[in-house]
Structure 1
Amino acid sequence: TPPPHTTNIFQRFTNQNGIRPLLGKWVNYQLEKKIRRDQYPAPFKALETWVKNGVDNPQAFVEEARSLSELIVTDTSRNLVHVFHLQELLKSQAKKVDVKPQHVHVIGAGAMGGDIAAWCALRGLTVTLQDREARFIAPAIGRAYDLFSKRLKISSEIQAAMDRLTPDIQGKGVSRADIIIEAIFENLEAKQNLFQSIEQHCKPSALLASNTSSIPLDEINQVLQQPERLVGIHFFNPVAMMKLVEVIHGEKTSEDVLNQALAFVKQIDRLPLSVESHPGFLVNRVLMPYLMESILLLEEKIPAEVIDEAAIRFGMPMGPIELGDTVGLDICLSVAKNLTHYFGGTVPKILEEKINHKQLGKKSKQGFYRYQNGKKISRKTNFDDYDLETIQSRLILRMLNEAVACLREKIVATPQEIDAGMIFGTGFAPFRGGPLHYAENTGYKKIRDKLFHYEQTLGPRFTPDEGWNNLISSSQEEETAAA
């Protein structure tokens, strides 16, 4: 039996009746900067209980039990339990093989490639990082040192991680690596030429992986002698923060290669999601209509701050305009052009104008916002002057409609995997349980009817996907069976 907890002087001081209310106000202020009370009530309830009763008062236990009994039956609680099960679902996808690569070779030392290399080194793997010149690799090594210093703290461990990460301009690591990850710019011909060269020099057992964000694997692998070796391993930015990694399999990708890739992602402490190789895959395809709708709202003279506030009030970690700036407007344009090539539609002119003026977002200190010292400069805006509910509906409905299309096309196997992908890949409001879970709770027919309404007023981009009919029919059958 552990000994009873004894409080120190600081704990006894902060638990005094006269101190708790003052300290509680400060803690409440800090909480409100990070989360909203109506979305995540539990931390606020815990604080209120402590301020009112302290920890030594027997009534504190009664109040704590009462608060827990109220919180545990809320929608937020049920949805967050659902999110926990989604995380376990993704972890379970990597249990089919026990293969652990020891040497990773990354080609392309840009923002994504450099950070992928750093993360793999942090997780204990030997990594060689290739690019055309040393000046392209140097910034990635600097970012890696910052990551190691932040995560590891101890100087000997930081140095060990740095020793595992080796610049490799000549690409000698290709012949020794267990897995080779391509992370160059989004151009089909460039990727094909690179993989043709890699295939001639790598080990027969090496896994060939592309970090492409939108180009179908079955287009890249056409030039390979063994196209079944190619798999997509698509990380999200920032690599060290985003847990999800899409593992993309084309028609020719072998099952063994897919399973090895899933196991590798779990090995480096990320959440693998198996996704069919279609344009945009899952996350970018579902996210892009949401981002494009936000830019169309900008073209309607709605301020960026208002659009982002509408999304944040829904529960998004940041608004779509700031998200586009953070990802990079050039990357958004590239993905948008690729997806419109396959699915139709148009790219908003204002996005192309930003690129033409070299306003790429946060990395160029100006996009739809201006940035100073890495922080967004916002204008004061009276949100009451705008219809935030309509703005929010337009943004979220575009995302939900695309999610249903992906489910109908079997881009992933289940609705739960779509929810997991959007929560862990984009930060979709966790307390809502994911886009399809939210749609189910709201009512499939209600959402389809809203889409019909916007189709009439705003055009065919809101045309409900036929997958809504399948969901409505299934839901009605379940209700009939339950009755």
Structure 2
Amino acid sequence: FENLEVKRSLFAELEARARPDAVLATNTSSLRLEDIATALKAPSRLVGIHFFNPVPMLPLVEVVQGEATDAEVLRRATGFVRRIDKLPLPVRSAPGFLVNAVLGPYMLEALRCVEEGIAPETVDAALVAFGMPMGPVELVDTVGLDIAVAAGKALAGAGAEPPARLLKLVGEGRLGRKSGEGYYRWVDGKAVKGDGEEAAKDGLVAGLWRRLAGKRRPAARPVPAGLADRVLAPLLAATQRCVDQGVVADADLADAGVIFGTGFAPHTGGPLNYSKETGKPD
């Protein structure tokens, strides 16, 4: 997980060693640029260039403008992202920026469902059937449960508390894919799920590209009515909030960013377009 003091120390050293015209860029996924920049004599040099894993496969890169970021620094950072054949998404500095800010509440709601007794496989199947490339519980396991706890409060909103089962798993050292067990057991890099569960077996990238090609697979088992809507509701609300707060310039950019950054069901046109067309609250 990210350590603010370590980043401050690193960037202070980089500023002292780098050429005066060098751009200082951070790949932070959850820290505000303003908090890192307090260690710099010239905070205008700092910009965010936030990639998404796996970097070779996911095209989106958030280019993050802090309160002090110089316009020329921002232009150079955007140009760099284009030169490496990525899609730059301009965002303003805020916890989680756009993509992680919408993923945090989404994953938290999925874990709350599990806390209430709904099987992880059922939650994941509901969202894969909707059109997501990977279920949210499997995504948490993939990210790492310790990372989820460390970043969760900042990304999920004020008053959000980690689910008890999540804290228990972390306390036991069951951190998800990297430790071999979390909400799922992991064998050879794949989540082992319940009998007959096929809907959520696709990996994040394979599932995303399959759906971008217009192919969808239904859930392999019945899921409770309204389950997908419940888990998606915090994501829709967070996306609208990012537009309202100016984290991203407009709804079109927000929709594109969430599609390419999270794999949000491309056939919907993005979360805000989906909200508008279906009348779902955002």
What do residues 208-234 of structure 1 show as CA deviations (whole Å, max 9, x unaligned)? Answer: 011111110011101100000000111
Paired residues of 1:306 and 1:381 also in contact (CA < 8 A): no
Q: 1:430 aligns with which of 263, 266, 269?
A: 266
Paired residues of 1:215 and 1:279 also in contact (CA < 8 A): yes
Amino acid at match of 1:187: N
User: What residue number does 2:208 align with?
Assistant: none
Q: 1:256 aligns with which of 43, 49, 72?
A: 72
Amino acid at match of 1:437: N
Aligned-pair CA distance for 1:386:
4.1
Gaps of 5+ in 1: 1-184, 449-467, 469-483
User: What residue number does 2:105 align with?
Assistant: 289
User: What residue number does 1:379 align with?
Assistant: 194
Distance in 1 of aligned mates of 2:275 and 2:101: 18
Paired residue secondary structure (1:376): strand
User: What residue number does 1:122 align with?
Assistant: none
Distance in 1 of aligned mates of 2:109 and 2:253: 24
User: What residue number does 2:252 align with?
Assistant: 416
Q: 2:176 aligns with which of 361, 383, 387?
A: 361
Paired residues of 1:208 and 1:231 also in contact (CA < 8 A): yes
Change (3 A) 1:334 1:266: same
Paired residue secondary structure (2:67): coil
Distance in 1 of aligned mates of 2:76 and 2:222: 53
User: What residue number does 1:241 align with?
Assistant: 57
Distance in 2 of aligned mates of 1:355 and 1:232: 29
Paired residues of 1:210 and 1:234 also in contact (CA < 8 A): yes
Paired residue secondary structure (1:423): helix
Q: 1:302 aligns with which of 118, 136, 147?
A: 118
Distance in 1 of aligned mates of 2:110 and 2:265: 17
Change (3 A) 1:315 1:336: same
Q: 1:344 aligns with which of 136, 159, 162?
A: 159
Root-mean-square deviation (Å): 1.5
Distance in 1 of aligned mates of 2:172 and 2:162: 17
Q: Is it true that 1:405 corresponds to 2:256 in the alignment?
A: no
Distance in 2 of aligned mates of 1:333 and 1:372: 23
Distance in 1 of aligned mates of 2:193 and 2:180: 13
Amino acid at match of 1:365: G
Paired residues of 1:237 and 1:327 also in contact (CA < 8 A): no
Distance in 1 of aligned mates of 2:6 and 2:154: 16
Paired residues of 1:317 and 1:429 also in contact (CA < 8 A): yes
Distance in 2 of aligned mates of 1:238 and 1:434: 21
**Aligned residues: percent identity?**
47
TM-score (norm 1): 0.52
Paired residue secondary structure (2:233): helix
Q: 1:326 aligns with which of 123, 132, 142?
A: 142
User: What residue number does 1:396 align with?
Assistant: 232
Amino acid at match of 1:278: A
Gaps of 5+ in 2: 198-219
Write 1 or 2 for the structure with the bigger share of helix.
Answer: 1
